Amino acid sequence: MRQAGRYLPEYRSVRKKVSFLELCRSPELIAEVVRQPIERFDLDAAILFSDILTPFEPMGVKVDFPEGGPQLEFTINEPKDVKRLSDFDIEKELSFVFDGIREIKKILAGKPLIGFAGSPFTLASYLIEGQASKNFNNAKKFIYQHPKAAEEMLELLTDVVARYLEAQIDAGADVVQVFDSWGGILSNDDYLRWSARPVEKIFSQLANKKVPRILFVNNLAPYIDIVRDIDCEVVGVDYRMEISDAAKSLPGKSVQGNLDPSVLFGTTENVVRQTKRIIDSIKNPNRLIFNLGHGILPETPIEAVQALVDTVHNYR
Amino acid sequence: MRQAGRYLPEYRSVRKKVSFLELCRSPELIAEVVRQPIERFDLDAAILFSDILTPFEPMGVKVDFPEGGPQLEFTINEPKDVKRLSDFDIEKELSFVFDGIREIKKILAGKPLIGFAGSPFTLASYLIEGQASKNFNNAKKFIYQHPKAAEEMLELLTDVVARYLEAQIDAGADVVQVFDSWGGILSNDDYLRWSARPVEKIFSQLANKKVPRILFVNNLAPYIDIVRDIDCEVVGVDYRMEISDAAKSLPGKSVQGNLDPSVLFGTTENVVRQTKRIIDSIKNPNRLIFNLGHGILPETPIEAVQALVDTVHNYR
Task: Determine whether B193 is an active site residue.
Answer: no
**Minimal Cα distance from B185: which residue of A?**
A240
Fold of B9-232: TIM Barrel (3.20.20)
Binary contact (B262, A297; C-beta < 8 A): no
> What integer best gives the mean pLDDT of chain A?
96
Closest CB to B134: pick one of A134, A189, A293. A134
Strand (E) positions, chain A? 46-47, 63-64, 71-72, 113-118, 175-180, 213-217, 234-237, 254-259, 288-292
**Minimal Cα distance from A262: which residue of B?**
B141
pLDDT of residue A193: 97
> What integer best gives the mean pLDDT of chain B?
96
Name the band, by pLDDT with cuts 50, 70 and 90, for residue A316.
confident
Name the band, by pLDDT with cuts 50, 70 and 90, for residue B184.
confident
With beta carbons under 8 A apart, name residues in chain A contacting B262.
137, 140-141, 143-144
pLDDT tens-digit series, residues A255-287 = 999 999 999 999 999 999 999 999 999 999 899
With beta carbons under 8 A apart, name residues in chain A contacting B145.
265-266
Give me the mean pLDDT over the B239-259 stretch: 97
Q: Which residue, among A78, A142, A144, would best test binding to B if mutated, counting the most B CBs under 10 Å from its CB?
A: A144
Domain map (residue ranges) of chain B: 9-232, 256-316
Does residue A67 register a pLDDT over 90?
A: no
Does residue A135 register a pLDDT over 90?
A: no
**Minimal Cα distance from A182: which residue of B?**
B134
Give me the mean pLDDT over the A134-162 stretch: 95
pLDDT tens-digit series, residues B260-283 = 999 999 999 999 999 999 999 999
Give CA–CA dist A128/A77, Å, rounded: 6
pLDDT of residue B134: 78
pLDDT tens-digit series, residues A212-259 = 999 999 999 999 999 999 999 999 999 999 999 999 999 999 999 999
User: Would you say A225 and A207 are in contact if contact means Cβ atoms under 8 Å apart?
Assistant: no
Closest CB to B140: pick one of A147, A223, A262. A262
Give CA–CA dist B113/B58, Å, rounded: 25
With beta carbons under 8 A apart, name residues in chain A contacting B184.
240
pLDDT of residue B44: 96
Binary contact (B262, A143; C-beta < 8 A): yes
pLDDT of residue A134: 78
Name the band, by pLDDT with cuts 50, 70 and 90, for residue A1.
confident
Does residue B1 register a pLDDT over 90?
A: no
pLDDT of residue A178: 98
Nearest alpha carbon to residue A144 among B300, B177, B245, B85: B300
Binary contact (A147, B219; C-beta < 8 A): no
pLDDT of residue A183: 83
Does residue B67 register a pLDDT over 90?
A: no
pLDDT of residue A7: 95
Buried b (16+ CB within 10 A) or exposed e, B141-167: bbbbbbbebbeebbebbbbbbbbbbbb
Assess: ipTM above 0.95.
Answer: no
Binary contact (A187, B222; C-beta < 8 A): no
Binary contact (A260, B190; C-beta < 8 A): yes
Catalytic-labelled residue, pool B11, B126, B164, B191: B126
pLDDT of residue A2: 86
pLDDT tens-digit series, residues A83-132 = 999 999 999 999 999 999 999 999 998 999 999 999 999 999 999 999 98
Question: Model pTM?
Answer: 0.95
Does residue B132 register a pLDDT over 90?
A: no
User: Would you say B40 and B51 are in contact if contact means Cβ atoms under 8 Å apart?
Assistant: no
Task: Determine whether B15 is an active site residue.
Answer: yes
Closest CB to B262: pick one of A140, A263, A270. A140
Residue A227: Cβ within 10 Å count: 23
